[in-house]
Structure 1
Amino acid sequence: MIQKRSIGFAAAAIIAGAATTAICFGDALGLARSAATDSEATAAAPVGTTSHPIEVLQGKPWLVPVADGPKALRGKVVVVNFWTYSCINSLRVLPYLRAWNARYGPKGLQVIGVHAPEFAFEKDPARVRRATNQLDVRYPNLPDNDYAVWRAFANQGWPGFYFIDATGKVRGYQLGEGKYDEAEQLIRKLLTETGADVSSIPLIPVEAGGIEAQADWTDLRSPEAYIGYDKAADFTSPGGFGKDAVRTYASATTLSLNQWDLAGRWSVGGEHATLNGGPGTIRFRFHARDVHLVLGGAPDGRPVRFRVTIDGRAPGSSHGTDVDAAGSGEVKEDRLYQLVRQPGAIADRTVTVEFSRPGVRAYVFTFG
C-alpha cells in the first residue's frame, strides 16, 4: 500500500514555465520539488515508467469502459490522468480533460482516467461511479485500488498526466495543475503525427466554475491539513491527540495561521477523526479564497447537518457551493465539500464547522 502525502501548493512545475502547480504527492516514492526549465514543453516520463503503457491499461477491469474495448486504444493518442475524486487538485483539472476529450476525440485522442484512491472510502466502486456521474466524467475510467497501474507508470502524485503517442510510447509527463496550453499543444503535435488535421480546432480558453475554478494562487497561504494523526500538523487543542480513543477535546485559546483544533467528543484515527458525541466543532485559521473539507457521512446513512461561520459570523456572500449564506450544509455522502469562497479581499480568518450529531468523519482541509 502506497502511503500518500499531500502538498497544497508545491512549487513543482513539470511543464515549462515559472507558475507554481498544486500536487498531491505519494510519500513512499521519495519525491522532491522540481522546477522545469523554459526549454522543455513537457517533462520526460519518470524513471521506471512502463514501456508498454497500453498493455498495462488493458490488463485492468474498467469502471467506464473504452468503446470497442481496450484494444481499440492501439493507434490512438492517449492522455492518461491519475486522479482521485476527493482531491481538489484532481477536481480542478477536470474541465481541461473534458475539453480535450471533446475537441480532439474525433481526431483520434482518447482521455483515460485512472482512479487511484487516497482514502479508504474512495476504493468503493459504487462511490466512484457516483462521483464520476456527478462530476460529468464521461471518458473511460479504470480503478487502481492496488496501485498496480500507478507503479507501472512510476506515477508520483495527483493529478499526474501521461501523453502517449499512436505507437504506444510515453512522449510527455506532467505532475500537478497548470501549463494546460503547453499540454494541449503536445496533444495537437501527437495527433498531427498520425496524419490528423487539427488546424481548424481553435485554442479556446477553458472556462471553469464552482468547485472546479482555478485556485487564487496569489493569495493562497494555507497548505492542505490532514485531520488523521498519521499526517496531521499544527493541531492545538489542549493535550494533543488521544490516538484511536474517544476523548473530549476543547478549543485552543487562540489559533495562529494554519493551526486548527477540535471541540467535543472525537476519536482521532490515522486517516480521519470521527465525532462520537454531538455536537462537535472543528476550527482552522486560514488565508485563502476557498476552503474545502473532505467529510464522510454517518454510519446510519442519515444526513448530518453542519453550520459554517467565518470569524464567528455567517458566511453570507462568502459561502461555498455546499453551504448557503446562513452557513448551513449537510453531509450526505463521502466527498469533498466546499465551505467557503470569498469574493472580496483575502485576509487571515477562522472557519468554524459545527456538526449537529455524531457519526461524521473529517479527513482533510484543502484550499484554493
Structure 2
Amino acid sequence: MLSSHFQAVVEKAFSVLANKVPQVNPKSNGYWAGFLVGLSLGLIWTPCVGPILASVITLALTGTVTFNAFLITFFYALGTAIPMFTVMVGGSKVLTRIPLLAKNASKIQKSFGILTIFIAIAIFKNWDRNFQSFVLTKFPNYGASLTRIEERGNLSVLTGVSEQDKKSSQDLPVIKKAPDIIAGGQWLNTQAPLSLSGNLKDKVVLVDFWTYTCINCIRTLPYLKNWHQKYQKDGLVIVGVHSPEFEFEKDLENLSKAVVDFDIRYPVVQDNNFATWRAYKNSYWPAKYLIDGQGNLRYYHFGEGSYDETESAIQELLKEIGASPSSQINNVKSQNFSQTPEIYLGFGRGDIGYATKKETYQKQTAPKNIGKNQVAYNGNWLFSQEFAQSDTASELLLNFSAKDIFLVMHPVSGSAEVEIYLDDIFEKKITVNQNKLYEILKLQEPGRHTLKLKFPDKKIKLFAFTFG
C-alpha cells in the first residue's frame, strides 16, 4: 500500500498543475489548449481524453468537419506526440551510449515484447480498468485535476460560450445573439413554423435540445411541462429541438408518438440534419438555452439539474418583457444514484464488451466473470454501428451498478418478448413493440447486480443502456 505522505505529495502535484493552467480567453482558437492537454497526457497515452476528442466525435457525427476543428485536433495530436517522440529518441541514445544496455539490446527488446503481450492480456481481462479504479481511489485529485485542465482549455471551444459568462449567469448578461431555429423536418404542436425574428419576437424562448430515447432528457420533461403550463400565459415559449441520437428517431411517426406518450404540449421541431444543433454549437443531450424578448442568449444549462436556477432565470426574463410571473419555485429535488455510465451496444459509438467488431452474426459465449460495467453475450448476435441484434434463444448479460435501468430497443418485426433476470432470479417479461426507451428494472435501492436478458423467440435490436 502507498503511504499517506506519498499519496498527499502526488495529489498536491496534480492540483498545482491544474491550478497553474491559465483561464482561456473565450475568443481564442483553442489550438494551444489542445496542445497543452495533449502534452500533459502524452506520457500516459489515454486515447479518449475529454473534450477535444469529444468535440471531434460530435463534429464527425453531425457532418461538420471544419478547418478550425482540424487544426485543433492537429495541435492536440502534436502535443501528445512530443512526449512519445522524446521518450523514443532519448531511449535510443541511452541504449547506444551505455555498453551494458547495448550488449543486451536483444534481450531488452524481447522483454518489452513480453511486456506488450502482458498489457494486451491485461486490457482483455479488464485489469487495466481495475488499476484505473485503484489510482482514482487512492488519488482522487488526479482525475479531478486533469478534468479541470481539459475544461479550462476547451469548454468555450465546444459551446461558443465562455466560462466567465457561465459564472455570471445569475445576473443574466447578454451572452450573444441567439441563432434562429432551423427546421430539419416537421414542426409539431404549432400551426406554423416558429422564428426568433418573427412570431417569437418579444417572447421569452427556452430552446431545449433533446431526443426521445435519452433518459436524461426524459427526466427533465416534467420540469419543462410544468414551466410551459405555469408561464405560457406570461410569454414563455418552450421549443423542443429534437436532434436524434439514433437513425430510427428521425422518423416523424416515431417522434409524434413519443410526443403524445410524454404528453408534450409545447412546440417541437425535428432537427434531423443537426442544423440548429450546429448553429448553437451544442454538444449535449439535454441542453437548455434561454433567450430574451430581443433575441439575445441570456442563460444556458447542460444536462439535468439546476431547475430552480433555470426557473428563476425564466421569471427574470419574463419580468423584462412586462409580465408578472409567479415568484414561487417548487421544483422537486432530484436524486441520481447512477454509477454505471451509459452503455452503447453498437460498435460505432461504444464498447461492445467481449464481442468482435464485424457486421455479421457471431456465436457468443459469455465468460464466467463479467467485468464491472461490462456487457457479455450468449448465442448468436449481429453487431452493427448502432446496435446489437439478438437471435432466437440468445442472451445478454450486464454487470451494472444503479437503482434503475433502461434500454432502447427496436423490434425487427411485429412484437417480441424479453425475459428479465436479476442475479439469476426471474423478475418479469416485457413486450417490445415500439422503437423507444424501455424501463427494464426499478430497484428499491442502488447496488451492483448482474442483469440477464433472454430473447426466446424473435429478433430485437438493442441500442443503449442508461441508468438512474
TM category (shorter chain) comes to 0.7 to 0.9
> Which of 455, 458, 462 is residue 355 of structure 1 equivalent to?
455
Aligned equivalent of 1:211: none
Aligned equivalent of 2:331: 205
Structure 1 residues 59 and 314: alpha-carbon distance in aligned structure 2, compared to 1, 3 A threshold: closer
Aligned equivalent of 1:334: 435
Aligned equivalent of 1:270: 385
Aligned equivalent of 1:297: 411
How far residue 232 of structure 1 moved from its aligned partner, in angstroms, is 2.5
TM-score normalised over the length of structure 1:
0.78
- For 2:258 and 2:331, the matched residues in 1 are separated by 25
How far residue 220 of structure 1 moved from its aligned partner, in angstroms, is 2.2
Task: Write out per-residue CA displacement over residues 197-253 of structure 1, whole angstroms, 9 at most, x where no aligned residue.
Answer: 12x45222248xxxxxx4x43x422001111112222713xxx31510111111111
How far residue 61 of structure 1 moved from its aligned partner, in angstroms, is 5.0
- For 2:163 and 2:450, the matched residues in 1 are separated by 33
Q: How does 1:107-122 map to 2 (within 5 A)?
A: 107-122=234-249
How far residue 57 of structure 1 moved from its aligned partner, in angstroms, is 2.1
Aligned equivalent of 1:259: 374
Maintained 8 Å contact 2:158/2:281: no
Structure 1 residues 336 and 59: alpha-carbon distance in aligned structure 2, compared to 1, 3 A threshold: closer
Match status 1:3 vs 2:56: no
Match status 1:93 vs 2:203: no
Match status 1:244 vs 2:359: yes
TM-score normalised over the length of structure 2:
0.62
Maintained 8 Å contact 1:63/1:125: no
The runs of 5 or more residues in structure 1 that have no matched partner are 5-28, 208-213, 316-326
Task: Write out per-residue CA displacement over residues 78-135 of structure 1, whole angstroms, 9 at most, x where no aligned residue.
Answer: 0000000011011010011101111100000000000000000000011000111001
Structure of higher CA gyration radius = 2
Structure 1 residues 278 and 61: alpha-carbon distance in aligned structure 2, compared to 1, 3 A threshold: closer
Name the aligned partner's letter for residue 3 of structure 1: L
Task: Write out per-residue CA displacement over residues 245-302 of structure 1, whole angstroms, 9 at most, x where no aligned residue.
Answer: 1111111111122011111111101110112x3011111111100111111112x3x2
Structure 1 residues 184 and 296: alpha-carbon distance in aligned structure 2, compared to 1, 3 A threshold: same
Name the aligned partner's letter for residue 282 of structure 2: N
Maintained 8 Å contact 1:42/1:183: no
- For 1:341 and 1:132, the matched residues in 2 are separated by 23
> Which of 198, 203, 210 is residue 76 of structure 1 equivalent to?
203
Match status 1:102 vs 2:229: yes
Q: How does 1:31-42 map to 2 (within 5 A)?
A: 40-41=169-170
Structure 1 residues 128 and 2: alpha-carbon distance in aligned structure 2, compared to 1, 3 A threshold: farther
Aligned equivalent of 1:232: 350
Q: Which moved more, 1:259-268 or 1:158-167?
A: 259-268
Larger RCO: 1 or 2 (CA < 8 Å, sep 6+): 1
Match status 1:180 vs 2:180: no
Task: Write out per-residue CA displacement over residues 326-359 of structure 1, whole angstroms, 9 at most, x where no aligned residue.
Answer: x110110111111111113x32100111112232
Structure 1 residues 286 and 186: alpha-carbon distance in aligned structure 2, compared to 1, 3 A threshold: same
Maintained 8 Å contact 1:42/1:174: no
Aligned equivalent of 2:284: 157
- For 1:69 and 1:309, the matched residues in 2 are separated by 47
Aligned pairs, number: 311
Aligned equivalent of 1:167: 294
Aligned equivalent of 1:221: 339
Match status 1:129 vs 2:230: no
Task: Write out per-residue CA displacement over residues 40-93 of structure 1, whole angstroms, 9 at most, x where no aligned residue.
Answer: 4389899xx7x353xx22656543143565232111000000000011011010
- For 1:309 and 1:233, the matched residues in 2 are separated by 22
Residue 86 of structure 1 aligns to a residue whose secondary structure is coil
Maintained 8 Å contact 1:310/1:352: yes
Structure 1 residues 101 and 246: alpha-carbon distance in aligned structure 2, compared to 1, 3 A threshold: same
Q: What percent identity do the matched residue pairs reach? A: 31
Match status 1:311 vs 2:311: no
Aligned equivalent of 1:63: 187
Maintained 8 Å contact 2:183/2:276: no
